[in-house]
A = this chain, B = another copy of it.
C-alpha cells in the first residue's frame, strides 16, 4: 500500500523563509507565526497521514454505490468525515461568525494540499462544501447565510456545484435546466445535471446544491443563467432538516479515478430552490470564487505528484536491480538499489524539482489571493487573475506527468493496482479536466487575461521578474538568475508575438495559447526556485543547523534551471509558428 508523509517541513520553509508570511502587511498574516503554522500543519498532517491515507486505496477499490436512491461511500469514509468535522477544517479560512477561524487562504491552501495528497477523492467532499459555502458567503442574503453557513462550515451539511449538463460543459449558455418562479419567492427547479462531484453521500445530514438554471423568459444564452440554492432536504423554519426535496441521484458515473468520490447524475424534478445573488447573474455568482477554486485544483495536481513522488523515492531506494555503472554501491547485496541509476535520478529530480517549485508557485498564488481580498490590493488582484489559469493548467498537466514518471519507476509493479501507483495517475488525471479543462484555462489566459486592464497585470508580472533579477545580481545567484532572465525573455517574446499577430488574426494567439500557459508556468517555477535558492543561501550564510536541507534546495534549484527551464524555448518556437499549420486543414481532412 502506498504511503504518504505530510510535507510540512517544506511548507514551513516556503511560508516563513521564502514568503516570510508573518512579516507581510496583509490583515491576519501577523497571526501566522512559525510556531502557530507548524502546529496547524502538524495537526492537519496527523489527520492526513493517519486517517485519510489508509482510506485512499479503500476508496479506489470499493468506490461508491447507489442503492434504492441512497449513495453509500466506501468503508471508513464516514468515520473519517467525523474526524474532519471535529477538527473544524472546513472553517479554517471561514469567518468566525459562522464558526470559522478566519485564517488566510495561504494557510488553508497548505492544509488543503495535505488532505488532498493523502486522499483526493475523500477531500473533495469537504472541498466542494467549502466552495459552495464561499458562494453563499459572497452572494447570500443574511437569512441564507444564517440558514446554511453554520452547518456547512461545520460540515454537518455538505455542498455541491451543479453546472454541467449532458450536452454542455464549457458552453453553459446551452443550458436547459429551468427554474420557474413561485408565488412565495422560491423557484421550482427542473432539469438534469451531470458530473456532480460529491453529489450525494451518507456522511452528512443534508446536501446543499448550488444549481445553475434558466428562469423562463430571461435573456438567451449565458446571460439568462441564474444560481439557485437547492437543498436535498428542505430546511424548516427552526433550521432543522425537513422533508425531502425533488432532488434525486440518477446514477453514479464510472470513472477512470477518484472512485471514492460520488460523481453523480443529479435529477431535479420541480425541486424547491432559492435564488442566490442576482437574477441572470448566475455565472458571476458561481465564479466569484473562481481564482480560489482553480488554484485549489492546481493544488490537487501538485498534491498527487507529491504523493506519487514520495512512493517512487522509497521504491527507488529499496528495489535492488542492476549495478551502478561507476562501481557497486551495495557490494554485499545481490544488486544496487534503483536510485544509483542516472535515469532513475533524472526522473526523480524532474519530480522533486516540480513538486517543490510548484508548491512555491502555489503558495505565492494563495498569498496573492489574500493580498487581493484582505489588503484590497488591486495589483495583487490583477496578478492572481492573470496567473490563475497557469496555476490550474500548468500544475495539473505537470502534476499528472509526474505521477506517470513516478509510476514508471516501479516498472511492471507500477502497472498493477497492488502498489497504488496507478491510482495516483488515474486520480491526478481529473484535475486537468474539471473546473475548466486546461484548454479552456489557456483560452482564458490568452484570450482574456493577457489583455485585461490594458495589459497591466502582465506588465506587472514582467516588471516583478525584472526587478527581482536586478536585485539578485550577486555572483552566488547567477546560476539561477541568468536562466530565469532567459526564460522570461521567451515569455515576453511570446506576448509580443500575440500582440503583433493576434490583432490580424486572433487564431495566431489562440493557436499558441496552450504553449503560452506552459511557458508561463515554467517561468513562474523558475521564479519560485530562484526565491528558494535565495532563502537557502541566506540560511546557510546565517549558519543554519540543517545545512543539508538548504544544500538540497540549491542542488534542486540548479537542476530545475538546467533541465526544466529550457522547455521555454520550445514553447516559444511553437507559438511563433502561428496559426497557419494549425488551422490549415478542413474538418474533413482530419
A: residues with CB less than 8 A from B are 164, 167-171, 173-174, 194-195, 253-257, 263, 313, 316-317, 320-322, 325-326, 334-335, 337, 339, 341-349, 352, 400, 404, 407-408, 411-418, 422, 425-426, 429-430, 432-434, 437-439, 442-443, 447, 505-507, 510-511, 513-514, 548, 551-552, 555-556, 558-559, 562-563, 566-567, 569-570, 573-574, 577, 579-585, 587, 589-590
Contact = CB atoms under 8 A, between A and B. Distances in A.
Contacts of A552: 585, 589
B569 A581 contact: no
10 contacts: A169-B412, A169-B413, A170-B322, A256-B415, A341-B510, A343-B442, A345-B585, A346-B511, A408-B433, A562-B574
A412 B425 contact: no
Contact of A411 (B335, B433, B548): B433
Contacts of A510: 325, 341-343
Nearest to A253: B416
A579 B257 CA distance: 36
A337 B341 CA distance: 48
Given A195-B412, A408-B439, 14 more contacts: A194-B412, A254-B416, A256-B416, A256-B426, A325-B510, A326-B506, A341-B439, A342-B579, A345-B583, A349-B582, A408-B438, A552-B585, A558-B584, A566-B570
B581 A558 contact: yes
A417 B342 contact: no
A337 to B, nearest CB: 7
* Interface-central residue, A320, A343, A433, A447, by most chain B CB under 10 Å: A343
Given A343-B511, A434-B412, A581 B562 contact: yes
A225 to B, nearest CB: 14
B439 A345 contact: no
Contact of A513 (B339, B343, B417, B437): B343
A438 B343 CA distance: 10
Nearest to A553: B589
Given A552-B585, A569-B570, A570-B569, A415 B439 contact: no
A29 B562 CA distance: 48
* Interface-central residue, A195, A263, A313, A411, by most chain B CB under 10 Å: A411
Contacts of A414: 433
A448 to B, nearest CB: 12
A527 to B, nearest CB: 19
Contacts of A511: 342-343, 345-346
A507 B327 CA distance: 11
Contacts of A556: 585
Given A434-B412, A552-B589, A570-B566, A439 B344 contact: yes
A255 to B, nearest CB: 5
A401 B482 CA distance: 31
Contact of A339 (B164, B317, B587): B587
Nearest to A310: B590
A585 B313 CA distance: 12
Contacts of A400: 404
* Interface-central residue, A169, A171, A195, by most chain B CB under 10 Å: A171
A499 to B, nearest CB: 16
A346 B170 contact: no
A423 to B, nearest CB: 9
A316 B257 CA distance: 24
A530 to B, nearest CB: 15
A342 B507 contact: yes
Nearest to A568: B570
A352 B590 contact: yes
